[in-house]
């Protein structure tokens, strides 16, 4: 009898935990078409885990994770085709439509076409932007027409900071250089467009977390996500743990947002959530802010 009661209590507790799971906004999700699925990612991650077998399965597995972990909004970037597909399949109004760009001319884009997509609400976040991978910075002249449009229409901008995948320079991103991932390189953008909503992706990565904090100190409109650092390997987890301690002490934790950067590995969503929940130096309120409240404020969902 006691054993039955214990089992019942465990089941009820687990059910309560699921129902009590805080709302989450994932500010860093990737979509793919069959043409580009797995092109930029290795066959397995650091832990030897293979990704989804194809783009359609990947989307379905991500949607299942959204439902399981109460992810109410997800900022999705990929090709316009893949993002549009995710938006069509989204039955719960979760998808925030972004676009993945490494060069301003990707997808035969120009400022006229971009503004039209913004007007049609086919792009509601400009990013993930990866100038790092294309050998440029967001402060370079070639990106300015897009940024002017974003400020005009109040479109948030998401820019990659820090390094990239080891060996990427030898394969799909030959122009990538570590120096281009320094958050300080977007300072001219912050000065030129003071009304622009912008967030750093990866908080400067393993190389410049302190630069991310210093930049956020000088520019109160600047936010960051902590995507990929939460799960991709033990070394990045070490860095993000210290970054969160430092930015908490600095007083800017209220501009840190959750992101999974799950790429082709949907299980990374759960792994990221578990790691963040396991950081005992964060209070429950601080974790809830990172998971939801800070992003809701940044996105003006309130």
User: What are the boundaries of each domain within the chain?
Assistant: 22-298
Per-residue pLDDT of 215-228, as tens digits, reads 999 999 999 999 99
Asked if residues 135 and 177 have their Cβ atoms less than 8 Å apart, the reply is yes
On whether the 22-298 domain is CATH 3.20.20.140, my answer is: yes
pLDDT at 7: 39
Per-residue pLDDT of 149-173, as tens digits, reads 999 999 999 999 999 988 889 999 9
Mean pLDDT, residues 238-254: 98
Give the global pTM: 0.92
| Cβ contacts of 12 within 8 Å, gap of 6 or more | none
Per-residue pLDDT of 47-90, as tens digits, reads 999 999 999 999 999 999 999 999 999 999 999 999 999 999 99
Burial of 9 (0-12, 13-18, 19+ CB in 10 A): exposed
CA dihedral of 28, 155, 253, 210, whole degrees rounded to 10: 80
Angle at 90 between CA 84 and CA 92, to 5 degrees: 145
- Mean of the per-residue pLDDT values of the chain: 93
What is the 3-state composition of the chain as percent helix, strand, coil, each rounded to the nearest 5? 50, 15, 40
């Amino acid at each position: 009898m006691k054993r039955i009661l214990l089992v019942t209590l465990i089941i009820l507790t687990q059910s309560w935990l699921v129902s009590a799971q805080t709302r989450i906004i994932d500010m860093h999700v990737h979509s793919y078409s069959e043409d580009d699925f797995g092109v930029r990612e290795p066959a397995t991650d650091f832990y030897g885990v293979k990704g989804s077998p194809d783009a359609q399965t990947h989307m379905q597995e991500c949607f299942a994770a959204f439902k399981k972990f109460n992810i109410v909004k997800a900022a999705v970037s990929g090709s316009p085709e893949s993002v549009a597909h995710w938006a069509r399949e989204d039955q719960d109004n979760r998808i925030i439509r972004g676009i993945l760009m490494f060069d301003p001319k990707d997808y035969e884009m120009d400022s006229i076409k971009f503004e039209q997509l913004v007007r049609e609400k086919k792009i509601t976040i400009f990013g993930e932007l990866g100038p790092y991978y294309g050998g440029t910075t967001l402060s370079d002249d070639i990106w300015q027409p897009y940024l002017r449009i974003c400020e005009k229409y109040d479109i948030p901008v998401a820019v990659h900071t820090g390094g990239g995948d080891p060996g990427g320079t030898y394969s799909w991103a030959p122009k990538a250089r570590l120096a281009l991932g320094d958050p300080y390189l977007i300072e001219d953008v912050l000065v030129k467009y003071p009304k622009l909503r912008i967030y750093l992706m990866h908080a400067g990565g393993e190389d410049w977390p302190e630069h991310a904090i210093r930049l956020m100190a000088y520019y109160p409109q600047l936010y960051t996500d902590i995507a990929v650092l939460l799960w991709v390997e033990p070394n990045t987890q070490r860095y993000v743990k210290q970054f969160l301690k430092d930015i908490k002490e600095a007083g800017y934790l209220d501009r840190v947002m959750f992101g999974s950067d799950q790429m082709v590995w949907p299980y990374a969503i759960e792994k990221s959530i578990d790691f963040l929940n396991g950081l005992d130096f964060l209070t429950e309120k601080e974790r809830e802010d990172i998971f939801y409240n800070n992003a809701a404020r940044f996105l003006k969902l309130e």
